[in-house]
């Protein structure tokens, strides 16, 4: 299991400002520290994956049926992938890549996040502020506390970023813990969530897909350097993620982002070099879209998102594709 290593003496969002954006992705950023430790190497991770896991989910086949869209037919997944690679590996290995991505998100983001939430709550209780428990206090109260207690609990501000997706903090924290503790996210429900106080999930609560997309974006925000255009620290989210009702400017060939085109049920598309890549709807749409985003970075950007290496010496996520 990967370890969490907060930095007690520095903010998760560095105050130094990096260079302004250049002509390529690589020119936009400098490396940035994160409250989460970088994942271990591929060998360490593969050893970890060999350990017994409680995982009852069965990988679903990659859907190849044509789907009607606006009176026409949506290309098969292999045709979508063929637009960015001539290799058949994308379709042949998609189930393996998906499983590794799920485990990476769980072990690198969710499990450390839950541990830090528990740690911060314990610190708040010791400081005489039990009313500010994450999962109980409102997000506005937590944001204010993150400013007031920045010197004594420097990681609180980073945690608040992960929780800033729904006003129902109690449900969110409970659901994050359920996902983290269910074994390779076996409780994941792409178009719904968990039960809440005896009632079934409803649309007033975020879907599991929305939660995972948010925590992934927030994690990558913490790994990219600050940018003068985005003083809130959301460098990755601002440049590489959009969601309805916002519409991405597809005519902008420099735009490279994941776009959530539908909330309920959730559906994600990839925008790259003026093209929209829409993979099949359903339980794996989020993971497959993220995989295509990462695959492009690996094969067309030399593994670099701006100046941040997503390979072994940096975020260390690209190993999931193998060689």
pLDDT at position 20: 33
pLDDT at position 74: 56
pLDDT at position 36: 58
Give the pair of three-digit tokens for residue 299.
Answer: 């094969």
pLDDT tens digits along 192-251: 999 999 999 999 999 999 999 999 999 999 999 889 999 999 999 999 999 999 999 999
Average pLDDT, the chain: 81
Closest CA to 31 of 215, 214, 222, 162: 222
pTM as predicted: 0.79
Whether residue 121 is predicted with pLDDT greater than 60 in this model: the reply is yes
Count of helices and strands (H, E) across the chain: 11, 8
Whether residue 79 is predicted with pLDDT greater than 80 in this model: the reply is no
Instruction: Return d(Cα 214, Cα 113) in angstroms, integer.
Output: 13
Whether residue 310 is predicted with pLDDT greater than 80 in this model: the reply is yes
pLDDT at position 34: 52
Phi first, then psi: what are they for 184, rounded to 5°? 45, 40
Whether residue 64 is predicted with pLDDT greater than 70 in this model: the reply is no
Q: With contact defined as beta carbons under 8 Å apart, do 186 and 177 qualify? A: no
- Cβ atoms within 10 Å, residue 255: 17
Band the pLDDT of 1: cuts 50, 70, 90: very low
pLDDT at position 81: 80
Whether residue 44 is predicted with pLDDT greater than 90 in this model: the reply is no
- Mean pLDDT, rounded, for 171-192: 94
What percentage of the chain's residues is helix, strand, coil (to nearest 5)? 40, 10, 50
Q: With contact defined as beta carbons under 8 Å apart, do 124 and 159 qualify? A: no
pLDDT at position 13: 36
Between 168 and 91, the higher pLDDT residue: 168
Q: Which residue has the tokens 């094969």?
A: 299
pLDDT at position 75: 58
Band the pLDDT of 66: cuts 50, 70, 90: very low
């Amino acid at each position: 299991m990967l370890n969490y290593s907060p930095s007690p003496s520095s903010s998760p969002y560095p105050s130094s400002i990096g260079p302004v954006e250049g002509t390529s992705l690589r020119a936009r950023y400098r490396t940035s520290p994160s409250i989460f430790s970088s994942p271990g190497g591929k060998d360490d991770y593969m050893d970890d994956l060999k350990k017994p896991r409680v995982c009852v989910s069965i990988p679903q086949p990659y859907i190849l049926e044509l789907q009607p869209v606006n009176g026409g037919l949506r290309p098969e997944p292999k045709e979508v992938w063929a637009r960015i690679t001539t290799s058949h590996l994308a379709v042949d290995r998609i189930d393996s890549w998906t499983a590794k991505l799920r485990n990476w998100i769980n072990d690198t983001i969710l499990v450390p996040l839950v541990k830090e939430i528990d740690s911060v709550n314990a610190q708040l209780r010791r400081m005489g502020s039990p009313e500010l428990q994450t999962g109980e206090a409102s997000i506005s109260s937590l944001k204010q506390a993150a400013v007031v207690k920045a010197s004594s609990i420097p990681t609180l501000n980073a945690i608040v970023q992960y929780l800033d997706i729904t006003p129902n903090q109690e449900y969110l924290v409970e659901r994050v813990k359920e996902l983290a503790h269910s074994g390779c996210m076996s409780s994941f429900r792409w178009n719904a969530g968990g039960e809440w106080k005896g009632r079934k999930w409803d649309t007033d609560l975020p879907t599991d897909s929305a939660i995972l997309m948010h925590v992934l974006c927030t994690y990558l925000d913490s790994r990219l350097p600050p940018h003068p255009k985005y003083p809130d620290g959301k460098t990755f989210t601002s440049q590489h993620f959009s969601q309805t009702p916002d519409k991405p400017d597809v005519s902008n060939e420099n735009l490279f982002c994941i776009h959530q085109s539908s909330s309920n049920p959730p559906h994600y598309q990839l925008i790259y070099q003026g093209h929209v890549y829409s993979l099949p709807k359903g339980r794996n749409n989020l993971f497959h879209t993220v995989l295509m985003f990462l695959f492009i970075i690996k094969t067309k950007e030399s593994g670099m998102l701006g100046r941040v290496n997503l390979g072994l010496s940096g975020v260390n996520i690209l190993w999931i594709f193998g060689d």
